[in-house]
Amino acid sequence: MKNNLKKIGFMALVILLMILTACGNNSQQSSGGSSPSPTPSDTASSQPEPPKTDFPIKDIELVVPYSAGGTSDIIARTVAKTVQQELGKSVIIVNKPGAGAALGTTDVYNAKPDGYTLLMTTTSPITIKPHDGSTAYTWNSLTPIMQVAYVPQVLMVRADSPWQTFEDWLQYVKENPGKFTYAVSGIGSTGHLVMEQLNKLAGIATKVVPYDGSGDVMAALLGGNVDGAIAGTADVDMGKVRGLFTFGGKSEVFKDAPTLQEKGIDEYINLTIGLFGPPDLPRDVFDIVHDAFKKALEDEEVLQSLKEAGIVPAYVGPDEFAKYLEQEFNIFGELYTKVNG
């Protein structure tokens, strides 16, 4: 009997010790003891960081979908010098004009998304050209990296022309419908649409003559092939041309040229230039490209060179730039319908 009692007492003691041990472990886990289960953040922090990209390992092509000498081309060549210093590789400017700037834009749209093919362009082929149904892309197909600058669009005439003021010109075009010819960088470009809108608002008629870039536009004007030209002030030879008015903001080059709004006409559109990449540009490559170009836009020599060319440096980050592109796409869609309706 005594032996049985001893055995029962021993077993009870063992059970009691097991219970106490289990309670101690539970208490330690619930109170944040020395061996808690790992949280998701702890697990992530224990993992090795992914390897960083070695981009760039070769030269970069910066496509300009206009002929050499125009606004986009001037900006591209100005910032490229600083960008290649930042990246340690050459930035090669490739002019691919044609199809209202859609040719070069399409090449970048179809390019491999590795960061070695980029696009510097006005927003025209992005936010206007898709409205005519001729492009494989639309406003949000490419990767917007940043807005770079904007340029007031000016109606220019030769310095020896008979039109000294906006009023002189307006009277002439009203009395001579369809005779005034003006050059622009392609059908469906910003310059083309803003002038066609002015035709409707002012009840006048002018004749468009398209070229492959604003450099060609200015050559046509100075060569006497057209009566006027709509282009950015980066392309101006001040001694040979006169600015009659601007379609957007005031021009720092043609300070005396009034805006259309100052003349009672409700039209205000500037020429915007941005940097784009192909669709699905990897984030690590995107960041490297973005930071290099943004740093170039902060360089004092770059800023001074752009301002002297009549270009307004105006950095806008990728998210806000994307919102702007959507807004401009919708605005130009309405304008395109009005002009072609």
pLDDT at 186: 86
DSSP reduced 3-state for 6? helix
What are the tokens at 108? 């970048």
- Between CA 189 and CA 64, with CA 154 as vertex, the angle to 5 degrees is 45
pLDDT at 188: 83
Residues 281-328: tens digit of each pLDDT? 999 999 999 999 999 999 999 999 998 888 889 999 999 999 999 999
H/E run at residue 329 = helix 318-340
pLDDT at 18: 46
Residues 192-217: tens digit of each pLDDT? 999 999 999 999 999 999 998 888 89
Residues 326-337: tens digit of each pLDDT? 999 999 998 888
Q: What's the average model confidence in pLDDT over 14-21?
A: 43
Q: Read off the pLDDT band of 341 (50, 70, 90).
A: low
pLDDT at 124: 93
Q: Name the amino acid, one letter, at 328.
A: E
Residue 162: Cβ-neighbour burial (10 angstroms; 0-12, 13-18, 19+): exposed
Determine contact, residues 301/72, Cβ cutoff 8 Å: no
In the chain, residues under CATH classification 3.40.190.10 are 153-263
Average pLDDT along the chain:
85
Domain 153-263 has what CATH class? alpha beta
- The structure's pTM equals 0.77
Residues 21-45: tens digit of each pLDDT? 444 444 444 444 333 333 333 334 4
Rounded Cα distance between 142 and 123, Å, is 12
DSSP state of 68: T
Q: What's the average model confidence in pLDDT over 76-95?
A: 97
Residues 237-281: tens digit of each pLDDT? 678 999 999 999 888 788 899 999 999 999 988 899 999 999 999
Whose structure tokens read 């000016």? 154
Q: What's the average model confidence in pLDDT over 95-112?
A: 96
DSSP state of 162: S
What are the tokens at 65? 């979908």
pLDDT at 180: 98
pLDDT at 228: 97
Determine contact, residues 236/253, Cβ cutoff 8 Å: yes
In the chain, residues under CATH classification 3.40.190.150 are 60-150+272-340
DSSP reduced 3-state for 328? helix
Rounded CA Rg of the chain: 32
Q: Find all residues with CB under 8 Å of 246, minimum gap 6, and list them.
A: 152, 153, 154, 155, 254, 257, 258, 259, 260
Rounded Cα distance between 321 and 38, Å, is 41
Please state, as a whole number, how many other Cβ atoms lie within 10 Å of the Cβ of residue 338: 13
Whose structure tokens read 């990246």? 87
pLDDT at 233: 66
Percent of residues, the chain, with pLDDT higher than 90? 67
DSSP reduced 3-state for 145? strand
Pairing of strands 153-158, 241-246: antiparallel
CA nearest to 148, candidates 184, 121, 128, 116: 121
Domain 60-150+272-340 has what CATH class? alpha beta
